Amino acid sequence: MSRALPRTSSARFASSIAFTVLALILSVGAYVIAGFGKRGQLPATFGLYATIFAAGYVGSLLVIRRFAPSADPALFPTAGVLVGLGFAMIFRLSGGLAAEQATWIAVGLVAFAATLMIVRDHHMLDAYTYSIGLLGLILLMLPMVPGIGQTINGARLWVQIGPLGFQPAELGKILVVIFLASYLNQKRELLQVATTRIGPFRLPPVKHLAPVLFAWAGSLAILFVQKDLGASLLYFGIFVVLLWVATGRAAYLVLGLVLFAIGAWLGWVLFDHVQLRVDVWLHALDPEKVFEQGYGQLAQSQFAMATGGLVGSGLGKGSPGLIPFAATDFIFAAIGEELGLLGTTAVLLLYVVLVGKGLRIALEVRDGFGRLLAVGLATMIAIQTFVIVGGVIRVIPLTGVTLPFMSYGGSSLVSNFILLALLVRVSSGPAPARGAI
């Protein structure tokens, strides 16, 4: 239950202030540049949006100072830069979408602060292993409930309750990570026992392999029922990584890769939408197909990134609106057109910082649950980023997940801020008692 991270110092808080101010300058600056590039003048909404960013970032900094004073000073500012760059690109694409995104940024920042205030010690979550797991499962399956579940763009991920539409799986995946971290920490010793030999690898008894097989079957169920290839890959990938970290056995990684290969093959054989994704991936620039649905989307993203070159056309100077779903699935391609290779590299490095910080937190935390939780949250960011960026640049078939902190969408943005708050909490340790700061 103890912590390895030292208490905060004046120098650390000074670093937090400096990083947050830099994040604020970059966020508002990108928005202003996009406005000038698009219309040749300061955006009419400058005062409103600048106030939202300034109040939100400064307020979050004060909440971190009060409730998580020993947190890594670069975590929140790094995510803040990604949010700001994403907002600038969304504003450049559509003023209407920007207004909605600004609202969700404000909600996300409130959720970030509320999470730090409520979860005053990450060990609180370890006491509700199965309740959190059950709630996560309910949220994942909620879109399948008749009457409220909605199918959009071929995937059944949305829930519509009155005027409110959201993706419950965005919050559900965080709860699943918390459950897995707690469960695997409790069962770690059983999973480390190896009595079965398969070639050069030793595995635990079959009954203890059940969680691996269950996670594999669950990911296939998500693929079959919800037709969400990205979520299927995300959940199974996180589970295999956590299982490997919990036990230290490379055999689980090998087993996971084998099961993933089998699942991918079954998905390709059984599901038309998977076959279409693979066909689009392989033939996106085929002259006979380039203007067809799906093919044209990926082709336009390739044209956009090629047009951007090394330094890009400049914010507001390109034509990213030609890319279908540019604000959601293809915001990375839009950034590539207007900020070029240098801009996309900078974005990827920001994600490397976030993931690297998460893994470093895991190394420095003494308790098993905190270590697995930090690894799981960092892995979630890493896999999502790899899956969407890899799909956009045609390294892998496109799966349709959102780019964390940057893509348009309220459910994704709010859940990412909650994820960030949990990383901050693990980084800092228990919140100080009232009057301690």
Question: Nearest to residue 47, comparing CAs of 23, 61, 31, 26?
Answer: 31
pLDDT < 50: residue spans in the chain: 1-8
Q: Which residues contact 247 (CB under 8 A, 6 or more apart)?
A: 188, 191, 192
At 196, phi and psi to the nearest 5? -110, 130
pLDDT value of position 207? 62
Q: Is 30 exposed, middle or buried (0-12, 13-18, 19+ CB in 10 A)?
A: buried
pLDDT score at 236: 79
Beta-strand (E) ranges in 100-224?
149-152, 155-161, 164-166, 196-198, 201-203
Which DSSP state fits 286? -
Burial class (CB in 10 A: 0-12, 13-18, 19+), 310: exposed
pLDDT 10s digits, 376-394: 999 999 999 999 999 899 8
Rounded CA gap, 424 and 81, in Å? 16
pTM value is: 0.90
Residues 280 and 391: their CA atoms lie apart, in Å, by 11
The β-bridge partners of 8 are none
| Structure tokens belonging to residue 260 | 């993933």
Which is it for the CA torsion 17, 18, 19, 20, positive or negative? positive
Q: Measure CA of the first residue to CA of the last residue in the chain; give whole Å.
A: 22
**Angstrom distance (rounded) from CA 343 to CA 332:** 10
Rounded to an integer, what distance in angstroms lies between the CA atom of residue 79 and that of residue 419?
11
Distance in angstroms (rounded) separating the CA atoms of residues 39 and 36: 5
pLDDT digits (tens, 9 = 90+) for 95-150: 889 999 999 999 999 999 999 999 999 999 998 888 888 888 888 778 777 777 77
Q: Are strands 201-203 and 196-198 parallel, antiparallel or unpaired?
A: antiparallel
Tell me if 388 sits within 8 A of 329, measured CB to CB: yes
| Structure tokens, 391 | 């799909």
Q: Tokens in use for 237?
A: 């990938």
Burial class of residue 32, CB neighbours in 10 A (0-12, 13-18, 19+): middle
d(CA 351, CA 345): 10
SS3 154: coil
Cβ(234)–Cβ(384) under 8 Å?
yes
Q: Are 212 and 184 in contact (CB under 8 A)?
A: no
Ranges of each domain in the chain: 10-186+271-428
pLDDT value of position 223? 57
Bridge partners, 164 (sequence order): 161
Contact 35, 398 (CB under 8 A): no
Q: How many CB atoms lie within 10 A of CB 29?
A: 14
